[in-house]
Protein backbone atom coordinates (compact mmCIF):
# COMPACT_ATOMS: atom_id res chain seq x y z
CA UNK A 1 0.00 0.00 0.00
CA UNK A 2 1.08 3.62 -0.48
CA UNK A 3 3.76 4.68 1.94
CA UNK A 4 5.15 1.23 2.72
CA UNK A 5 8.90 0.95 2.36
CA UNK A 6 10.54 -2.10 0.87
CA UNK A 7 14.20 -3.05 0.71
CA UNK A 8 15.16 -5.71 -1.82
CA UNK A 9 18.55 -7.27 -1.09
CA UNK A 10 19.48 -8.77 -4.43
CA UNK A 11 22.37 -11.10 -5.23
CA UNK A 12 22.85 -12.06 -8.84
CA UNK A 13 25.73 -11.22 -11.14
CA UNK A 14 23.60 -10.98 -14.29
CA UNK A 15 20.84 -8.41 -14.83
CA UNK A 16 19.32 -10.63 -17.55
CA UNK A 17 19.10 -13.63 -15.21
CA UNK A 18 15.84 -15.07 -13.93
CA UNK A 19 16.71 -13.70 -10.49
CA UNK A 20 17.14 -10.31 -12.14
CA UNK A 21 13.67 -10.63 -13.68
CA UNK A 22 12.14 -11.61 -10.34
CA UNK A 23 13.73 -8.55 -8.78
CA UNK A 24 12.41 -6.33 -11.58
CA UNK A 25 8.91 -7.75 -11.21
CA UNK A 26 8.98 -6.93 -7.49
CA UNK A 27 10.23 -3.38 -8.06
CA UNK A 28 7.56 -2.79 -10.68
CA UNK A 29 4.62 -4.31 -8.83
CA UNK A 30 5.45 -2.77 -5.45
CA UNK A 31 6.09 0.65 -6.99
CA UNK A 32 2.76 0.41 -8.75
CA UNK A 33 1.14 -0.09 -5.33
CA UNK A 34 2.71 3.16 -4.18
CA UNK A 35 5.43 1.54 -2.09
CA UNK A 36 8.82 3.13 -1.94
CA UNK A 37 11.27 0.47 -3.13
CA UNK A 38 15.03 0.41 -2.59
CA UNK A 39 17.31 -2.22 -4.11
CA UNK A 40 20.70 -3.22 -2.73
CA UNK A 41 22.23 -4.84 -5.80
CA UNK A 42 25.11 -6.54 -4.01
CA UNK A 43 27.27 -7.60 -6.95
CA UNK A 44 26.79 -4.26 -8.73
CA UNK A 45 27.82 -2.53 -5.48
CA UNK A 46 30.76 -4.95 -5.17
CA UNK A 47 29.52 -5.34 -1.64
CA UNK A 48 32.26 -6.46 0.79
CA UNK A 49 31.32 -9.79 2.44
CA UNK A 50 34.35 -10.10 4.75
CA UNK A 51 33.90 -9.08 8.37
CA UNK A 52 37.21 -7.43 9.21
CA UNK A 53 38.89 -4.74 11.25
CA UNK A 54 38.25 -2.37 8.32
CA UNK A 55 34.61 -2.25 9.36
CA UNK A 56 35.52 -0.23 12.43
CA UNK A 57 36.63 3.37 11.96
CA UNK A 58 39.24 4.56 14.43
CA UNK A 59 40.30 2.92 17.64
CA UNK A 60 39.26 -0.53 18.75
CA UNK A 61 37.56 -1.35 22.02
CA UNK A 62 40.18 -4.07 22.58
CA UNK A 63 43.09 -3.96 20.18
CA UNK A 64 44.89 -6.79 21.98
CA UNK A 65 42.49 -9.41 20.73
CA UNK A 66 40.14 -8.58 17.89
CA UNK A 67 36.57 -9.83 18.41
CA UNK A 68 34.40 -8.84 15.46
CA UNK A 69 31.00 -9.12 17.11
CA UNK A 70 32.09 -7.07 20.12
CA UNK A 71 33.97 -4.46 18.07
CA UNK A 72 31.14 -4.01 15.57
CA UNK A 73 28.66 -3.62 18.43
CA UNK A 74 30.83 -1.01 20.13
CA UNK A 75 31.43 0.80 16.85
CA UNK A 76 27.69 0.86 16.19
CA UNK A 77 27.09 2.58 19.53
CA UNK A 78 29.58 5.35 18.79
CA UNK A 79 28.68 5.68 15.09
CA UNK A 80 32.04 4.34 13.98
CA UNK A 81 31.04 1.59 11.56
CA UNK A 82 32.28 1.68 7.97
CA UNK A 83 30.23 3.85 5.64
CA UNK A 84 28.87 0.99 3.54
CA UNK A 85 27.47 -0.71 6.64
CA UNK A 86 25.84 2.47 7.92
CA UNK A 87 24.16 3.00 4.55
CA UNK A 88 22.70 -0.49 4.56
CA UNK A 89 21.55 -0.11 8.15
CA UNK A 90 19.67 3.07 7.22
CA UNK A 91 17.85 1.18 4.49
CA UNK A 92 16.97 -1.65 6.90
CA UNK A 93 15.85 0.79 9.59
CA UNK A 94 13.39 2.45 7.23
CA UNK A 95 12.06 -0.71 5.65
CA UNK A 96 8.71 -2.25 6.51
CA UNK A 97 9.52 -5.28 4.38
CA UNK A 98 12.83 -6.92 3.44
CA UNK A 99 12.89 -9.14 0.36
CA UNK A 100 15.97 -11.30 -0.22
CA UNK A 101 16.30 -12.32 -3.88
CA UNK A 102 18.99 -14.87 -4.68
CA UNK A 103 19.89 -18.20 -6.27
CA UNK A 104 20.33 -20.98 -3.70
CA UNK A 105 24.05 -21.81 -3.44
CA UNK A 106 24.90 -24.92 -1.43
CA UNK A 107 21.66 -25.06 0.58
CA UNK A 108 22.07 -21.40 1.56
CA UNK A 109 22.50 -17.86 0.31
CA UNK A 110 25.50 -16.81 -1.82
CA UNK A 111 28.50 -15.63 0.21
CA UNK A 112 28.01 -12.01 -0.87
CA UNK A 113 24.55 -12.03 0.75
CA UNK A 114 25.77 -13.89 3.84
CA UNK A 115 28.36 -11.12 4.14
CA UNK A 116 25.59 -8.54 4.07
CA UNK A 117 23.95 -10.39 6.98
CA UNK A 118 27.24 -10.77 8.90
CA UNK A 119 28.23 -7.11 8.53
CA UNK A 120 24.94 -5.18 8.55
CA UNK A 121 23.00 -6.95 11.31
CA UNK A 122 25.26 -5.70 14.07
CA UNK A 123 24.64 -6.17 17.78
CA UNK A 124 22.77 -3.18 19.18
CA UNK A 125 21.28 -2.47 15.77
CA UNK A 126 19.61 -5.78 14.87
CA UNK A 127 19.67 -7.66 18.16
CA UNK A 128 20.62 -7.22 21.78
CA UNK A 129 20.52 -10.16 24.15
CA UNK A 130 17.88 -10.85 25.49
CA UNK A 131 15.93 -8.80 22.95
CA UNK A 132 15.76 -11.56 20.36
CA UNK A 133 13.16 -13.69 18.58
CA UNK A 134 9.62 -12.54 19.49
CA UNK A 135 11.11 -9.77 21.66
CA UNK A 136 13.48 -8.80 18.81
CA UNK A 137 14.37 -5.25 17.82
CA UNK A 138 12.81 -5.59 14.35
CA UNK A 139 9.42 -6.87 15.41
CA UNK A 140 7.61 -4.35 13.22
CA UNK A 141 9.29 -5.58 10.06
CA UNK A 142 8.43 -8.32 7.61
CA UNK A 143 10.84 -10.42 5.58
CA UNK A 144 10.50 -12.78 2.66
CA UNK A 145 13.07 -15.04 1.03
CA UNK A 146 12.62 -15.26 -2.72
CA UNK A 147 15.01 -17.66 -4.36
CA UNK A 148 15.68 -20.01 -7.23
CA UNK A 149 17.01 -23.55 -7.03
CA UNK A 150 18.97 -25.81 -9.35
CA UNK A 151 17.03 -28.89 -8.30
CA UNK A 152 13.38 -29.60 -8.97
CA UNK A 153 10.61 -29.43 -6.40
CA UNK A 154 10.69 -33.23 -6.07
CA UNK A 155 14.35 -33.12 -5.03
CA UNK A 156 13.46 -30.96 -2.05
CA UNK A 157 10.73 -33.03 -0.42
CA UNK A 158 10.75 -34.98 2.79
CA UNK A 159 12.10 -38.44 2.19
CA UNK A 160 14.12 -37.47 -0.88
CA UNK A 161 17.90 -37.31 -0.57
CA UNK A 162 18.04 -33.50 -0.35
CA UNK A 163 15.29 -33.41 2.26
CA UNK A 164 12.44 -30.99 2.80
CA UNK A 165 13.17 -27.48 1.52
CA UNK A 166 12.05 -26.24 4.94
CA UNK A 167 15.16 -27.78 6.54
CA UNK A 168 17.22 -25.33 4.49
CA UNK A 169 15.05 -22.39 5.48
CA UNK A 170 15.63 -22.82 9.23
CA UNK A 171 19.02 -21.07 9.54
CA UNK A 172 17.97 -18.21 7.27
CA UNK A 173 14.39 -17.57 8.37
CA UNK A 174 14.67 -18.55 12.01
CA UNK A 175 18.37 -18.08 12.81
CA UNK A 176 18.62 -14.71 11.09
CA UNK A 177 15.22 -13.09 10.51
CA UNK A 178 13.23 -14.37 13.46
CA UNK A 179 16.27 -13.92 15.73
CA UNK A 180 16.03 -10.18 15.00
CA UNK A 181 12.29 -10.24 15.67
CA UNK A 182 11.31 -9.95 12.02
CA UNK A 183 8.01 -11.58 11.03
CA UNK A 184 8.62 -14.07 8.25
CA UNK A 185 6.30 -14.38 5.26
CA UNK A 186 6.16 -17.69 3.39
CA UNK A 187 9.17 -18.04 1.10
CA UNK A 188 8.76 -17.64 -2.63
CA UNK A 189 10.62 -20.44 -4.36
CA UNK A 190 11.10 -20.87 -8.09
CA UNK A 191 12.31 -24.40 -8.68
CA UNK A 192 14.84 -25.06 -11.41
CA UNK A 193 13.96 -22.15 -13.72
CA UNK A 194 16.96 -23.07 -15.88
CA UNK A 195 15.42 -26.41 -16.73
CA UNK A 196 11.85 -25.43 -17.58
CA UNK A 197 10.41 -23.92 -20.75
CA UNK A 198 10.35 -20.21 -21.56
CA UNK A 199 6.57 -20.37 -21.13
CA UNK A 200 6.88 -21.80 -17.63
CA UNK A 201 9.45 -19.18 -16.67
CA UNK A 202 7.01 -16.48 -17.77
CA UNK A 203 4.29 -18.08 -15.68
CA UNK A 204 6.62 -18.03 -12.69
CA UNK A 205 7.13 -14.29 -13.12
CA UNK A 206 3.39 -13.71 -13.41
CA UNK A 207 2.80 -15.80 -10.28
CA UNK A 208 5.29 -13.67 -8.34
CA UNK A 209 3.62 -10.45 -9.48
CA UNK A 210 0.25 -11.93 -8.50
CA UNK A 211 1.45 -12.86 -5.05
CA UNK A 212 2.85 -9.39 -4.48
CA UNK A 213 -0.56 -7.85 -5.17
CA UNK A 214 -1.95 -9.32 -1.97
CA UNK A 215 1.29 -9.67 -0.02
CA UNK A 216 0.37 -7.09 2.60
CA UNK A 217 -2.68 -9.09 3.57
CA UNK A 218 -0.65 -12.24 4.24
CA UNK A 219 -0.19 -13.62 7.72
CA UNK A 220 3.42 -14.41 8.69
CA UNK A 221 4.33 -18.06 9.15
CA UNK A 222 4.57 -19.52 12.63
CA UNK A 223 8.37 -19.41 12.66
CA UNK A 224 9.00 -22.12 15.26
CA UNK A 225 10.67 -25.54 14.96
CA UNK A 226 7.29 -27.17 14.28
CA UNK A 227 6.88 -25.31 10.99
CA UNK A 228 10.22 -26.61 9.78
CA UNK A 229 10.51 -30.11 11.12
CA UNK A 230 7.09 -31.57 11.79
CA UNK B 1 48.75 -41.60 10.81
CA UNK B 2 51.94 -40.85 8.86
CA UNK B 3 51.28 -39.87 5.29
CA UNK B 4 47.71 -38.65 5.76
CA UNK B 5 47.03 -35.21 4.35
CA UNK B 6 44.86 -32.70 6.15
CA UNK B 7 43.54 -29.36 4.95
CA UNK B 8 42.33 -26.95 7.63
CA UNK B 9 40.10 -24.22 6.25
CA UNK B 10 40.26 -21.60 8.96
CA UNK B 11 38.19 -18.44 9.30
CA UNK B 12 39.03 -16.12 12.15
CA UNK B 13 40.43 -12.59 12.00
CA UNK B 14 42.47 -12.89 15.21
CA UNK B 15 45.39 -15.32 15.66
CA UNK B 16 45.02 -15.03 19.45
CA UNK B 17 41.34 -16.02 19.34
CA UNK B 18 40.00 -19.29 20.70
CA UNK B 19 39.39 -20.40 17.12
CA UNK B 20 43.05 -19.63 16.43
CA UNK B 21 44.05 -21.81 19.37
CA UNK B 22 41.84 -24.66 18.18
CA UNK B 23 43.46 -24.41 14.76
CA UNK B 24 46.94 -24.44 16.34
CA UNK B 25 46.09 -27.47 18.45
CA UNK B 26 45.01 -29.35 15.33
CA UNK B 27 48.13 -28.41 13.38
CA UNK B 28 50.33 -29.47 16.28
CA UNK B 29 48.60 -32.74 17.11
CA UNK B 30 48.15 -33.89 13.51
CA UNK B 31 51.74 -32.97 12.61
CA UNK B 32 52.92 -34.97 15.63
CA UNK B 33 51.08 -37.96 14.18
CA UNK B 34 53.07 -37.57 10.98
CA UNK B 35 50.24 -36.07 8.96
CA UNK B 36 50.99 -33.40 6.42
CA UNK B 37 48.89 -30.39 7.41
CA UNK B 38 47.99 -27.42 5.24
CA UNK B 39 46.09 -24.39 6.53
CA UNK B 40 44.04 -22.04 4.40
CA UNK B 41 43.87 -19.02 6.67
CA UNK B 42 41.10 -17.22 4.84
CA UNK B 43 41.27 -13.76 6.46
CA UNK B 44 45.08 -13.70 6.32
CA UNK B 45 44.83 -14.62 2.63
CA UNK B 46 42.15 -11.97 2.18
CA UNK B 47 40.28 -14.73 0.41
CA UNK B 48 37.72 -13.43 -2.11
CA UNK B 49 34.21 -14.65 -1.20
CA UNK B 50 32.35 -13.15 -4.19
CA UNK B 51 31.55 -15.44 -7.10
CA UNK B 52 32.03 -13.20 -10.12
CA UNK B 53 33.10 -13.06 -13.74
CA UNK B 54 36.67 -12.46 -12.49
CA UNK B 55 36.85 -16.14 -11.55
CA UNK B 56 36.95 -17.10 -15.21
CA UNK B 57 40.11 -16.34 -17.17
CA UNK B 58 39.53 -15.45 -20.80
CA UNK B 59 36.38 -15.95 -22.83
CA UNK B 60 33.06 -16.96 -21.43
CA UNK B 61 31.04 -19.94 -22.56
CA UNK B 62 28.02 -17.64 -22.90
CA UNK B 63 28.82 -13.96 -22.60
CA UNK B 64 25.23 -12.97 -23.40
CA UNK B 65 23.95 -14.11 -20.02
CA UNK B 66 26.42 -14.84 -17.23
CA UNK B 67 25.64 -18.01 -15.28
CA UNK B 68 28.27 -18.54 -12.59
CA UNK B 69 27.76 -22.26 -12.01
CA UNK B 70 27.91 -23.04 -15.72
CA UNK B 71 30.84 -20.72 -16.43
CA UNK B 72 32.89 -21.98 -13.49
CA UNK B 73 32.23 -25.57 -14.55
CA UNK B 74 33.32 -24.84 -18.12
CA UNK B 75 36.38 -22.91 -16.93
CA UNK B 76 37.33 -25.82 -14.69
CA UNK B 77 37.29 -28.19 -17.66
CA UNK B 78 39.63 -26.02 -19.69
CA UNK B 79 41.85 -25.00 -16.75
CA UNK B 80 40.70 -21.41 -16.90
CA UNK B 81 39.65 -20.73 -13.31
CA UNK B 82 41.27 -17.91 -11.33
CA UNK B 83 44.59 -18.80 -9.75
CA UNK B 84 43.36 -18.61 -6.15
CA UNK B 85 40.60 -21.12 -6.89
CA UNK B 86 42.99 -23.54 -8.60
CA UNK B 87 45.33 -23.39 -5.62
CA UNK B 88 42.55 -24.24 -3.18
CA UNK B 89 41.32 -27.04 -5.43
CA UNK B 90 44.81 -28.59 -5.42
CA UNK B 91 44.80 -28.58 -1.62
CA UNK B 92 41.34 -30.19 -1.54
CA UNK B 93 42.30 -32.77 -4.15
CA UNK B 94 45.27 -33.93 -2.10
CA UNK B 95 43.52 -33.91 1.27
CA UNK B 96 42.30 -37.05 3.02
CA UNK B 97 40.61 -34.94 5.67
CA UNK B 98 39.11 -31.43 5.57
CA UNK B 99 38.67 -29.58 8.85
CA UNK B 100 36.61 -26.40 8.86
CA UNK B 101 37.45 -24.18 11.83
CA UNK B 102 35.20 -21.16 12.39
CA UNK B 103 32.96 -19.22 14.75
CA UNK B 104 29.26 -19.77 14.04
CA UNK B 105 27.84 -16.60 12.46
CA UNK B 106 24.06 -16.51 12.15
CA UNK B 107 23.47 -20.26 12.32
CA UNK B 108 26.09 -20.82 9.61
CA UNK B 109 29.69 -20.24 8.56
CA UNK B 110 31.13 -16.74 8.14
CA UNK B 111 30.70 -15.30 4.64
CA UNK B 112 34.41 -15.62 3.86
CA UNK B 113 34.17 -19.40 4.37
CA UNK B 114 30.89 -19.65 2.46
CA UNK B 115 32.72 -17.89 -0.36
CA UNK B 116 35.42 -20.56 -0.25
CA UNK B 117 32.66 -23.18 -0.66
CA UNK B 118 30.88 -21.25 -3.44
CA UNK B 119 34.06 -20.65 -5.47
CA UNK B 120 36.25 -23.72 -4.85
CA UNK B 121 33.69 -26.55 -5.04
CA UNK B 122 33.07 -26.11 -8.72
CA UNK B 123 30.98 -28.42 -10.90
CA UNK B 124 33.17 -31.07 -12.48
CA UNK B 125 35.66 -30.77 -9.64
CA UNK B 126 33.52 -31.37 -6.55
CA UNK B 127 30.29 -32.74 -8.02
CA UNK B 128 28.78 -33.73 -11.33
CA UNK B 129 25.11 -34.64 -11.54
CA UNK B 130 24.29 -37.52 -10.91
CA UNK B 131 27.60 -38.18 -9.13
CA UNK B 132 26.50 -36.72 -5.82
CA UNK B 133 25.93 -37.83 -2.22
CA UNK B 134 27.04 -41.46 -1.75
CA UNK B 135 28.15 -41.57 -5.39
CA UNK B 136 29.99 -38.26 -4.98
CA UNK B 137 33.39 -37.41 -6.43
CA UNK B 138 35.02 -37.00 -2.99
CA UNK B 139 33.92 -40.30 -1.49
CA UNK B 140 37.46 -41.07 -0.28
CA UNK B 141 37.65 -37.91 1.80
CA UNK B 142 36.60 -37.11 5.34
CA UNK B 143 35.38 -33.78 6.70
CA UNK B 144 34.81 -32.35 10.15
CA UNK B 145 33.23 -29.08 11.20
CA UNK B 146 34.95 -27.59 14.25
CA UNK B 147 33.28 -24.43 15.45
CA UNK B 148 32.54 -22.18 18.37
CA UNK B 149 29.17 -20.70 19.32
CA UNK B 150 28.04 -17.60 21.15
CA UNK B 151 25.19 -19.42 22.88
CA UNK B 152 25.48 -22.16 25.46
CA UNK B 153 24.83 -25.84 24.83
CA UNK B 154 21.39 -25.48 26.45
CA UNK B 155 20.40 -22.86 23.89
CA UNK B 156 20.97 -25.36 21.09
CA UNK B 157 18.85 -28.26 22.23
CA UNK B 158 15.60 -29.61 20.88
CA UNK B 159 12.70 -27.74 22.37
CA UNK B 160 14.69 -24.60 23.13
CA UNK B 161 14.07 -21.51 21.00
CA UNK B 162 17.24 -21.94 18.91
CA UNK B 163 16.50 -25.60 18.29
CA UNK B 164 18.76 -28.63 18.10
CA UNK B 165 22.28 -27.76 16.93
CA UNK B 166 21.89 -30.55 14.38
CA UNK B 167 19.29 -28.49 12.49
CA UNK B 168 22.07 -25.99 11.76
CA UNK B 169 24.46 -28.71 10.63
CA UNK B 170 22.19 -30.00 7.86
CA UNK B 171 23.01 -27.43 5.15
CA UNK B 172 26.74 -27.57 5.88
CA UNK B 173 27.32 -31.27 6.50
CA UNK B 174 24.68 -32.70 4.22
CA UNK B 175 24.12 -29.98 1.63
CA UNK B 176 27.81 -29.30 1.06
CA UNK B 177 30.03 -32.14 2.33
CA UNK B 178 27.80 -35.15 1.78
CA UNK B 179 26.62 -33.71 -1.53
CA UNK B 180 30.23 -34.00 -2.74
CA UNK B 181 30.45 -37.56 -1.40
CA UNK B 182 32.62 -36.63 1.58
CA UNK B 183 32.21 -38.79 4.68
CA UNK B 184 31.30 -36.60 7.64
CA UNK B 185 32.84 -37.07 11.08
CA UNK B 186 30.91 -35.88 14.13
CA UNK B 187 31.24 -32.12 14.51
CA UNK B 188 33.46 -30.67 17.20
CA UNK B 189 31.58 -27.89 18.94
CA UNK B 190 32.93 -25.57 21.62
CA UNK B 191 29.98 -23.83 23.21
CA UNK B 192 30.33 -20.22 24.30
CA UNK B 193 34.10 -20.18 24.94
CA UNK B 194 33.86 -16.42 25.51
CA UNK B 195 31.65 -16.94 28.53
CA UNK B 196 33.47 -19.72 30.39
CA UNK B 197 36.54 -19.56 32.63
CA UNK B 198 40.12 -19.67 31.39
CA UNK B 199 40.38 -23.11 32.96
CA UNK B 200 37.41 -24.41 31.00
CA UNK B 201 38.81 -22.97 27.79
CA UNK B 202 42.05 -24.86 28.39
CA UNK B 203 40.07 -28.03 29.01
CA UNK B 204 38.30 -27.51 25.70
CA UNK B 205 41.65 -27.29 23.92
CA UNK B 206 42.89 -30.44 25.65
CA UNK B 207 39.68 -32.26 24.70
CA UNK B 208 40.18 -31.32 21.06
CA UNK B 209 43.77 -32.57 21.10
CA UNK B 210 42.57 -35.79 22.74
CA UNK B 211 39.90 -36.34 20.14
CA UNK B 212 42.39 -35.82 17.33
CA UNK B 213 44.58 -38.60 18.71
CA UNK B 214 42.00 -41.22 17.78
CA UNK B 215 40.23 -39.36 14.99
CA UNK B 216 41.37 -41.73 12.25
CA UNK B 217 39.64 -44.61 13.98
CA UNK B 218 36.28 -42.82 14.11
CA UNK B 219 33.34 -43.98 12.04
CA UNK B 220 31.63 -41.25 10.00
CA UNK B 221 28.12 -40.29 11.03
CA UNK B 222 25.17 -41.61 9.07
CA UNK B 223 24.63 -38.36 7.20
CA UNK B 224 20.94 -38.77 6.34
CA UNK B 225 17.87 -36.81 7.44
CA UNK B 226 17.34 -39.18 10.38
CA UNK B 227 20.60 -38.14 12.02
CA UNK B 228 19.53 -34.51 11.96
CA UNK B 229 15.82 -34.50 12.58
CA UNK B 230 14.78 -37.61 14.49
The secondary structure of chain B in percent helix, strand, coil, rounded to multiples of 5, reads: 45, 15, 40
Q: So what's the pLDDT on residue A161? A: 94
Given a contact cutoff of 8 angstroms between Cβ atoms, the answer to whether B25 and B205 are in contact is yes
Separation CA B212–CA B210 (nearest Å) = 5
Chain A nearest C-alpha distance from B93 (Å): 19
Closest CA–CA distance from residue A83 to any residue of chain B (Å): 19
Q: Are the CB atoms for A78 and A59 separated by under 8 Å?
A: no
> How far does B211 lie from chain A, in Å, by closest CA?
27
Please give the pLDDT value at position B2. 86
> Does the pLDDT of residue B167 top 90, yes or no?
yes
DSSP string across B134-152: GG-TTTT-EEEEEEE-SS-
Residues of chain B in contact with residue A102, where contact means CB-CB under 8 angstroms, are none
B64 contacts in chain A (CB < 8 Å): 16
Please tell me the pTM assigned to this model. 0.98
Interface of B with A in 70-99 (CB under 8 A): none
pLDDT in tens, A200-225: 999 999 999 999 999 999 999 999 99
By CB atoms closer than 10 A (0-12, 13-18, 19+), residue A107 is: buried
**Is the Cα dihedral A100, A103, A105, A111 positive or negative?**
negative
Q: Which of B41, B50, B156 to mutate to test the interface with A (most CBs of A within 10 A)?
A: B50
Tell whether the model's pLDDT for residue A1 goes beyond 90.
no
Residue B139 scores a pLDDT above 90: yes
How many whole angstroms separate alpha carbon B19 and alpha carbon B41? 11
| Listed range (A1-5, B39-43, B139-143, B193-197) with the worst mean pLDDT | A1-5
CB-nearest partner of A65 from B14, B64, B107: B14
Q: Does A8 score more than 90 pLDDT?
A: yes
Q: Which of residues 200-229 of B touch A (CB under 8 A)?
A: 225, 228-229
Q: Is B64 touching A (CB cutoff 8 A)?
A: yes
A179 in reach of chain B (CB within 8 A) = yes
Averaged pLDDT score across all residues of chain A: 98
- Across the interface, whether the CB atoms of A225 and B50 are under 8 A apart is answered no
Q: Residue B103: pLDDT above 90? A: yes
pLDDT of residue A2: 86
Q: Are the C-beta atoms of A171 and B168 separated by less than 8 Å?
A: yes
The reported pLDDT for the residue numbered A194 is: 96
- Cross-chain Cβ contact A111/B17 below 8 Å: no
Q: First CA to last CA across chain A, in angstroms?
A: 34
Collect all residues of chain A within an 8 Å Cβ-Cβ radius of residue B112.
Answer: 49-51, 111, 115
The distance of A57 to chain B (nearest Cα, Å) reads 16
Region A85-108 average pLDDT: 98
Neighbours of B130 (CB within 10 A): 8
Q: What is the dihedral of CA A201, A153, A148, A209, to 10 degrees?
A: 50
ipTM score assigned to the predicted complex = 0.98
> Which residue out of B175, B176, B179, B230 would a mutagenesis test of the A interface target, given it has the greatest number of A Cβ atoms within 10 Å?
B175
B151-165 pLDDT, tens digit each: 999 999 999 999 999
B chain contacts of residue A175, beta-carbon cutoff 8 Å: 106-108, 162, 168
Chain A window 135-154: which residues touch B at a Cβ cutoff of 8 Å? 150
Helix (H) or strand (E) holding B169: helix B165-169
Per-residue pLDDT averaged across B55-83, rounded? 98
What fold, for B5-229?
A: Rossmann fold (3.40.50)
Instruction: Write the CB contacts of A159 (distance below 8 Å, at least 6 apart in sequence).
Output: B225
Q: Would you call B112 and A51 a contact, using CB atoms and an 8 Å cutoff?
A: yes
A111 neighbourhood in chain B, CB within 8 Å: 49-51, 111-112, 114-115, 117-119
Q: What integer is the mean pLDDT of B3-32?
A: 98
Q: Is the pLDDT of residue B99 over 90?
A: yes
pLDDT (tens digit per residue) in A154-171: 999 999 999 999 999 999
Mean pLDDT calculated for residue range B178-191:
98
Which chain B residues have a beta carbon less than 8 Å from that of A136?
Answer: none
Q: Do A158 and A164 meet the contact criterion of CB atoms below 8 Å apart?
A: yes
Of A55, A47, A97, A69, which is closest to residue B17 (Cα–Cα)? A69
Amino acid sequence: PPGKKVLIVYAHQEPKSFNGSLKNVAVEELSKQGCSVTVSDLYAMQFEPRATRNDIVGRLHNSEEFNYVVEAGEAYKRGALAKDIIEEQKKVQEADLLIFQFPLYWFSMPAIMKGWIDRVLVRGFAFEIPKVYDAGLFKDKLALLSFTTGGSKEVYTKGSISGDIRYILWPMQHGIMHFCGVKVLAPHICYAPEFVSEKERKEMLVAWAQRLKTLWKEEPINCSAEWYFE
